[in-house]
Amino acid sequence: MIVPINKPIGWTSFDVVKQVRKITGEKKVGHGGTLDPFAQGVLVVGIGRNSTRRLNYFSNSNKTYEAKLKLGSETDTLDLTGKIIQEMDVPTLKKDKIKSIFSKFTGYQEQIPPMFSAKKIRGVRLYKLARQKKLVEREPIQVFIKLLELIDYNSNSINFLVSCSKGTYVRQLGSDIAKKLGTVGHLAELYRIQAGPYSIEDCISFSTIEKRWMSLKV
C-alpha cells in the first residue's frame, strides 16, 4: 500500500515510518523522499514489501514546495533550526528585481549541497562532519528548477513556490537567492505541497492508514 502523509513539523521522516510500523505491525515500511524535521508536508510512504520496492519512483519524482525565506541572517543549517553565523542589512526589495533573480534560477542549475545534509562524502554523511565543525569541499550537482514563483514579500522576507527535481536543496536555493539580492538568508518555513502524483489534499491520517491496512488483512 502506498499512502501520502502530511509530515508534522518536528518529526523526522523516519519518525513517520516508525509510527506507520507501529500502527500496522508491518516491518517493511519506507518513504519516498526525505523531508527535514523543520519542514512539513507530503511524505509518500510504502507499506509492505511490494510497495517499498516502488518507492524509487516517488524518490525520483519532482517535488513542489512553498517556502519562506528570512533575509538578513544566515544560519549554519540554512534554516531556522541552526545558529546564526552571519548578519547583513537587507536592501530595499522590489518585485521586478526579485522576479528577475528568480528567472536566473529556473532550468538546469549546478548546486553545491549544504554541509548540513545527508549526502555522503567518502562514506560519511555531511551533517556528521558539520557537527564536528569540519568543512569539506563538495562537488556541485545538477538539479532542475521547473518553476520558481514569487508568492509575496515584505521588507525582510520572501515567500515563494518552487517545483524542482530530485536532489534539489531548497535551503541552499534560498541562501543563493538571498546572496543574489545582496544579503544573506535562511529558510524560516518549508512546506511540501506535492510529491509526484500526490498533493497535500491527498494526504491521509494515521488512523485512516490503520483502517485501510486492516481491511486488506481481512
Q: List the catalytic residues.
A: 36
DSSP character at residue 202: G
Using DSSP bridges, classify how beta strands 185-195 and 40-47 pair: parallel, antiparallel or unpaired. Answer: parallel
Q: What angle do CA 7, 11, 13 make, to 5 degrees?
A: 65
206 HSE (CA, 13 A, CB side): 13
Place of cell 519524482: 61
Answer for the pair 177, 74: CB distance below 8 angstroms, yes or no.
Answer: no
DSSP character at residue 64: E
What are the two backbone dihedrals, phi and then psi, of residue 91, each rounded to the nearest 5 degrees?
Answer: -70, 165
DSSP character at residue 20: H
Which helix H or strand E contains 145, and what residues bound it?
strand 141-153
End-to-end C-alpha distance for the chain, whole angstroms: 15
Q: Is 210 helix (H, G, I), strand (E, B) or coil?
A: helix
Which helix H or strand E contains 70, and what residues bound it?
strand 63-71
CA-based R_g, the chain, Å: 18
